Chain A
Amino acid sequence: MKSELVYIMSEVDDKYIIEASSCIEQNEKRSLYRFRYAFGVVAAIVCVIILSISNPVLARKLPFVGNIFEYLQDKLDFSGAYQNYSSNADMTVKSGGITVNIQETYCDGENLFVSYQIESDKAFSEYTSEEILKTQLDFDGVICAVSDGKGLNVGDFGVSGLEGEFVDEHTFIGVETVRLEDGVFPDTFVYEVQLYSWNLILNNGTEHKISGFWNLSIPITVNREEVEVIKVNASEENHNIDQVVVSPIMITIYTSYPELYNDNVNYEVVVFSEKTDNNITYQACYGNTEGKTWIPRNLVGDSLSIYVVDYSSFTLKGKDAYDKKEIEKHAIVSTHIDLTE
């Protein structure tokens, strides 16, 4: 049935196809500009790579030994003490010259963090002469959480693929962060991964794909240690801040609202902490009547202030859109949460 829908979509009016293609073409032009601007940097990096190839001892450092969460936990967007809450997984598969090892996992019920070590038989720089993004490795494939024989849809979160670093020419270590598209993770489930390619992200905006097939399956038990569910129940004009879930790595804010925002993106949850007057909302997903907003735990100290705004009710643009005083003035509903209580 779904494949038939693919063909129905094939026949949409030409004008919509052209309209969308203009986005792609404009983006290509922007990429080209960025590429030209970065040419000097790329040239320098190519020189370094050539030097490294001519001296393999420089190119291939000692293999990565140690705990990936411990090594990366202070460098990630969602930094935090992953190692204190994680469980060992240690599963390895190899295909297409790439060995994939899942080392550890941590699931706080809302989010699942998985540490990967990707080791290539040949140096990553041999796959392409383009500069490779050093902090991210993307992939194509299917990921799901299986519980009681049912597959639960999982969405990636934060950066696409793995966030981490190349520790040498042959090895990338990184963390994949995922969440369920609906609801929270069950107490136990299986993290199932079927990957078709690992994608080096190139400076020109494209990806170099390394194909293969990697199938991994890891049993997960949720660790709710130091996870706190705070019932807020603040409500004004049918706009509610329902609850806040605070885990060692992430804060998740649950909100609900009337069905007013189907055709626009005016609804937003803006969050400030005592650490900064800048909006610290990292990612959000707003449905017809319910939304979730995520904030890295490390951006919040002892308290946070949450504001629900409808941007159609006032006019603020650019950085002013998140001016704390204006947001306080125009918020439909707000709350202040003290995390030390």
Chain B
Amino acid sequence: MDDNKIIELYNCRSEDALIETEKKYGKLVTFIISKLIRNQLDIEECANDTYLGVWFTIPPKTPDNLKAYILKIARNQALKKYEYLHAAKRDIDKCLPYEELSNCLTQESVNGWEDNELKDIIDDFLASLSKSQRQVFMLRYWYFMPVNEISKCCNMSKSKAETILFRARNKLREYLGERGYL
């Protein structure tokens, strides 16, 4: 079903909206959640929370891109669950690929990032990468995929994917440094 029609169903408060969303985007939702959460019951709970999140926010919102909107909610639900499950161990930094980005930002620089400036800078940085570099970067740091899976996904060797990530991280560090965030 077309995304506009699904949004129409949400606006009419028809529960078919949830069925159609699950049918169209369920696989991708499960995919992104399962990169952070291992337990099947937790994955299902996160997926249900995602659909509930969509249900409660459309309306009033009308997303420009329903797929990206749903994936963002799924990613945030998975992150929340991950933090809850790992709160006692406090190892979120250690387990996520973000450990690799740890030299790219200082604590001071992220204070007040809500003003969206940092978000815009990261968008600009992504725009400066070539398409294949950007896909590898996003698969690693947005979709949390392991490097070996990225290499299969993008039809490249593991070493090439590692090299692209290494260079992209350096470039991000330079990019943020030039703009006073390092």
Cβ A284 vs Cβ B159 within 8 A: yes
Chain B contacts of A301 at CB under 8 A? none
B9 at the interface (CB under 8 A from A): no
Min Cβ gap A96→B in Å is: 11
Cβ A285 vs Cβ B162 within 8 A: yes
Contact of A1 among B39, B67, B91, B105 (CB under 8 A): B105
B119 at the interface (CB under 8 A from A): yes
Min Cβ gap A233→B in Å is: 24
B contact patch SS: helix
Identify which of residues 124-182 in chain B touch chain A, using a CB-to-CB cut-off of 8 Å.
126, 130-131, 133-135, 138-139, 141-143, 146, 148, 152-154, 157-160, 162-164, 166-167, 170-171
Cβ A5 vs Cβ B160 within 8 A: no
A residues at B contact (CB < 8 Å): 1-21, 23-28, 140, 142, 155, 160, 196-197, 205, 209, 211, 261-263, 265, 283-288
Given contacts A1-B106, A16-B142, 12 further A-B contacts (CB under 8 A): A2-B93, A3-B96, A5-B104, A12-B126, A12-B138, A20-B135, A20-B143, A21-B143, A24-B139, A27-B152, A160-B146, A286-B163
Number of A-B residue pairs at CB separation under 8 A: 143
Cβ B171 vs Cβ A262 within 8 A: yes
- CA separation between A287 and B114, bound complex, in Å? 33
Cβ B164 vs Cβ A3 within 8 A: no
Contact of A18 among B65, B104, B152, B153 (CB under 8 A): B65
Cβ A11 vs Cβ B119 within 8 A: yes
Contact of A12 among B38, B142, B160, B166 (CB under 8 A): B142
Cβ B119 vs Cβ A8 within 8 A: yes
Cβ B38 vs Cβ A17 within 8 A: no
Cβ A13 vs Cβ B152 within 8 A: no
Which B-chain residue is minimally distant from A293 (CB atoms)? B159
Cβ B139 vs Cβ A197 within 8 A: no
Which A-chain residue is minimally distant from B174 (CB atoms)? A262
Cβ B68 vs Cβ A17 within 8 A: yes
Cβ B99 vs Cβ A287 within 8 A: no
B58 at the interface (CB under 8 A from A): no
Chain A contacts of B67 at CB under 8 A? 17-18, 21
Cβ A2 vs Cβ B113 within 8 A: no
Cβ B28 vs Cβ A25 within 8 A: yes
Cβ B122 vs Cβ A9 within 8 A: yes
Binary interface encoding of chain B residues 79-102 relative to chain A, with 1 for a CB under 8 A from any of its CBs, else 0: 100010000000111111011011
* Contact A6 B143, CB 8 Å, known A23-B153, A23-B154, A209-B38: no
- CA separation between A16 and B122, bound complex, in Å? 11
Which B-chain residue is minimally distant from A22 (CB atoms)? B135
7 A-B pairs closest in CB distance: A14-B68, A20-B138, A160-B148, A2-B93, A27-B153, A14-B65, A2-B98
Cβ A12 vs Cβ B119 within 8 A: yes
A-B contact pairs, 9 of them (CB 8 A): A1-B107, A2-B96, A6-B96, A6-B98, A7-B76, A16-B134, A20-B134, A263-B133, A284-B159
